[in-house]
């Protein structure tokens, strides 16, 4: 349920990349509900099951009209044809190759999609005079920082995975286009988003599946690492606020960065205990060595987003877990993780 009307977005032409994914599909439903003219670009890649993404698309289409283009953001010719035809006023760019650990196995793929694909979209924004570019970044860009909670004006950015490095590069490229071509840019650093439709490889989804199947949960390290888990509805509200964020006409370079988190880090062992409570089942624990590239802590300072975007996360962690477990248990068996 939307927290406010977002009237400034009504009838706006919005191009959403990655709209069939977890965050994108929830955002797409909200944009259709608001009354935008929405086009989705998604390649339906096989990072995880394309059937899940097609299911997400069907849910979106039940809310209202949407144009869908099965297009890779790295395919310049096809992507340019989509933008030329649709003529968006706002581009919300969520499409990316995701995942810290997979990025260490194939960093060149992450560079091609996350940096090259972002360049393509920014260049098309310049060519077709798009007004606003909203970029889905990540808390991982903070990397090995010693200052917590994380604040947007941190200058010692030391990303510790190829994925994180590509997201930080995307922010820098977006700044360049704001500086050179007057594009309005808002970069959003998402902090561990969870909720219905979450990617199967992410902790809450994977751990729930393992608990339900009676399988052990892998715990990398001693379980003291913390994540700032943020419920999907709160993230969607933050993205919508960024899409209608009003830059002052005399503000110079129209570029800004906001954390979208919950500002309440949860330790890994606490997460598992909370999932035990939400599922009513005991989790088996399998301790393993710490994995390279994993951050020990993510913790968002959201005071800037609160001031400028009226961003106020409202879904308590335990409530969000209950909603996720309810969704997971109602999900078609063919869309669940297989352990055979």
The catalytic residue positions are: 163
d(CA 25, CA 12): 18
Q: How far apart are CA 186 and CA 188, in angstroms?
A: 6
Radius of gyration of the chain (CA): 19
What is the C-alpha to C-alpha distance for residues 259 and 118, in angstroms, rounded to an integer?
A: 20
β-pair partners for 91: 15, 133
């Amino acid at each position: 349920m939307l927290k406010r009307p977002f009237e400034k977005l009504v009838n706006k032409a919005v191009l959403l990349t990655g709209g069939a994914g977890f965050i994108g599909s929830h955002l797409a439903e909200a944009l259709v509900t608001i009354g935008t003219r929405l086009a989705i670009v998604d390649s339906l890649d096989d990072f995880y099951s394309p059937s899940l993404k097609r299911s997400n698309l069907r849910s979106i289409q039940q809310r209202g009209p949407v144009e869908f283009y099965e297009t890779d953001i790295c395919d310049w010719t096809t992507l340019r044809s989509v933008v030329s035809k649709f003529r968006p006023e706002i581009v919300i760019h969520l499409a990316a190759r995701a995942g810290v650990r997979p990025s260490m196995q194939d960093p060149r793929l992450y560079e091609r999609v996350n940096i090259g694909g972002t360049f393509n979209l920014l260049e098309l924004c310049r060519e077709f005079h798009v007004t606003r570019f909203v970029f889905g970044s990540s808390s991982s860009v903070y990397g090995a920082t010693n200052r917590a909670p994380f604040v947007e004006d941190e200058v010692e950015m030391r990303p510790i995975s190829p994925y994180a490095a590509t997201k930080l590069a995307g922010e820098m490229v977006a700044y360049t286009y704001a500086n050179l071509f007057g594009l309005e840019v808002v970069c959003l650093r998402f902090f561990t988003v969870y909720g219905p439709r979450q990617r199967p490889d992410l902790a809450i989804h994977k751990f729930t599946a393992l608990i339900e199947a009676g399988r052990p949960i892998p715990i990398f390290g001693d379980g003291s690492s913390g994540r700032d888990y943020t419920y999907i509805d709160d993230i969607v509200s933050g993205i919508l606020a960024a899409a209608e964020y009003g830059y002052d006409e005399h503000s110079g370079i129209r570029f800004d960065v906001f954390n979208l988190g919950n500002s309440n880090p949860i330790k890994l062992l606490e997460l598992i205990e909370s999932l035990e409570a939400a599922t009513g089942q005991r989790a088996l624990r399998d301790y393993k060595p710490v994995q390279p590239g994993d951050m020990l802590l993510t913790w968002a300072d959201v005071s800037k987003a609160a001031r400028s975007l009226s961003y106020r996360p409202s879904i308590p962690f335990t409530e969000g877990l209950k909603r996720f477990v309810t969704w997971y248990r109602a999900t078609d068996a063919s869309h669940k993780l297989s352990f055979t």
